[in-house]
Amino acid sequence: MKERERQFETAQETQLVRGETLVRIEKPIYGGAFLARLEGKAIFVPLALPGEEVRVRISQDKRGYSTAEVEEIVVTSPERIEPSCKHFGACGGCNYQHTGYAQQLEFKRAILRETLERGGVQAPDEIAVLAGEPWGYRNRIRLAFDAVGRMGYRGRRSHAVIPLEQCPIAAPALVDAARAAEAILRSTSAQGLRPTEIALFTDAEQSAMLVSVFVRTAAKAQFETLMRALSERVPAVKGAELLVEFAPQGRKPVPMPRTVAQWGERSLMYSAAGFDYRVDHGAFFQVNRWLVDALVERVTSGAQGKLAWDLFAGVGLFARRLVESVERVVAVESAPMATKALAANLSGTCGTAVNQATADFLRKARKGERPDLVVMDPPRMGLGAETTDALGRLRASEMVYVSCDPATLARDLKALAASGYAIEQVAMADLFPQTFHLETVVRLRLA
């Protein structure tokens, strides 16, 4: 071992003289890269593995850290495997296909623990893991078009489009439908449409699909042509929308894409956790079709009492389950794409849908009835100071926080702990296998 260390240090010095860099990879970090150090400075290296010695090229050098690309693997990790997708490395979608799934789960659990503790939150000794089939899980994909109409994902190191030939993490029907759409768009009848992107969403069984087509200039006739042809080739396609991303005549871009035409159905029914959920165009729904049931069970298990709040409720994934065991449920959501579906999914139950931003709802709810349980599933930015302060003052007996970003989760948990809440359980839910993304479910109780 000492001899190997001496050889490594000698080689590193030699590489520096020649303008090259030899580094040893230490551990994975959040964001998909791996950490190495050179003269104490952190270097972030994608597509490597812990324990490997790699020759790298510095691609970006900043004061506090550098990013680099692997030029040569000098010492290979025994955990390295052949990726399942031919686009891995060039495509920006996946980060971990070069190692086995068990190793990926350990990466994510370690990253979660370290991020929490760095943020001042003591993680429990046991972090549970929710995991399922790591392939074919995505129920939603979004693809871009290049200048000549080829379709694919954005590249890892650029905005270039990597032409799509396969995507083993997506539901197969989505890839088939995307490639059929590309072929139709190349035909004479639909050529004038010129989409910038296309998004496809399927139910878990791949029996129903919604399509969103993004353009800079509306071409409604060609859109109709595309959808009629696509539904003939892919009968699962039930509805579509055409969205304009930019204002006409070179004006400033619109803040949000604007729907200018619709075809077919405006929603699909998604069977999960024992219910059929209405999901409208563009509404958020958990992306992993294998793990939705397990996630709902983890979040709502043991729920009881007179009143529960579901904040950032989406279309009511958790609220619909909560109404089975809680006397009254209030589900709060402000996204226009989700509010109608949320109301429909709670219709006829003890649940009430509130079309309001969470912060506004909490301001008005200060003097009302205190809930027994609060479930919250915020976007990547987390809860923030105002919301955590309001929740701390609320003093509900129990809270369940569903997070898609460990850094903002740590920040918010630290604030909630200062308000008197203690962490009971933490689970890492791997809703995005092969990528660095991770979901966390934290159960908190008022101390």
Q: Token pair of 226, please? A: 């595309």
Is the pTM higher than 0.85? The answer reads: yes
Q: Which range of residues forms the domain containing residue 207?
A: 140-269
CATH at residue 206: 2.40.50.1070
- Please answer whether residues 309 and 351 qualify as being in contact, where contact means their C-beta atoms are separated by less than 8 angstroms: no
**Per-residue model confidence (pLDDT) at position 251:** 56
Q: Is 20 exposed, middle or buried (0-12, 13-18, 19+ CB in 10 A)?
A: middle
Could you report the per-residue pLDDT of 194-244, keeping only the tens digit for each? 999 999 999 999 999 999 999 998 899 999 999 999 999 999 999 999 999
Does residue 278 belong to any structural domain of this protein?
no
DSSP alpha helix (H) spans, 91-198: 101-118, 172-185
Could you write out the DSSP letters of every residue in 297-329? HHHHTT--SSEEEEES-TTTTTHHHHTTTSSEE
359-375 CB burial, b ≥16 within 10 A, e <16: eebbeebeeeeebbbbb
CA distance linking residue 224 with residue 241, whole number of Å? 10
Is 404 an annotated catalytic residue? yes
In whole numbers, what is the pLDDT of the chain averaged over residues?
A: 93
Could you report the per-residue pLDDT of 8-43, keeping only the tens digit for each? 555 555 454 345 689 999 999 999 999 999 999 999
Could you report the per-residue pLDDT of 280-312, keeping only the tens digit for each? 999 999 999 999 999 999 999 999 999 999 999
**Per-residue model confidence (pLDDT) at position 365:** 87
Could you report the per-residue pLDDT of 374-428, keeping only the tens digit for each? 999 999 999 999 999 999 999 999 999 999 999 999 999 999 999 999 999 999 9
Active-site choice (85, 91, 167, 404): 404
**Per-residue model confidence (pLDDT) at position 247:** 57
Does residue 116 belong to any structural domain of this protein?
yes
- Number of domains the chain is built from: 3
CATH at residue 306: 3.40.50.150
Q: Token pair of 346, please? A: 């709670």
**Per-residue model confidence (pLDDT) at position 16:** 47
DSSP alpha helix (H) spans, 47-204: 101-118, 172-185
Q: Given 210, 237, 269, which residue is the final one in a domain?
A: 269
- Please answer whether residues 378 and 411 qualify as being in contact, where contact means their C-beta atoms are separated by less than 8 angstroms: no
Q: Which residues lie below 8 Å from residue 390, measured CB to CB, with a gap of 6+? A: 359, 362, 363, 366
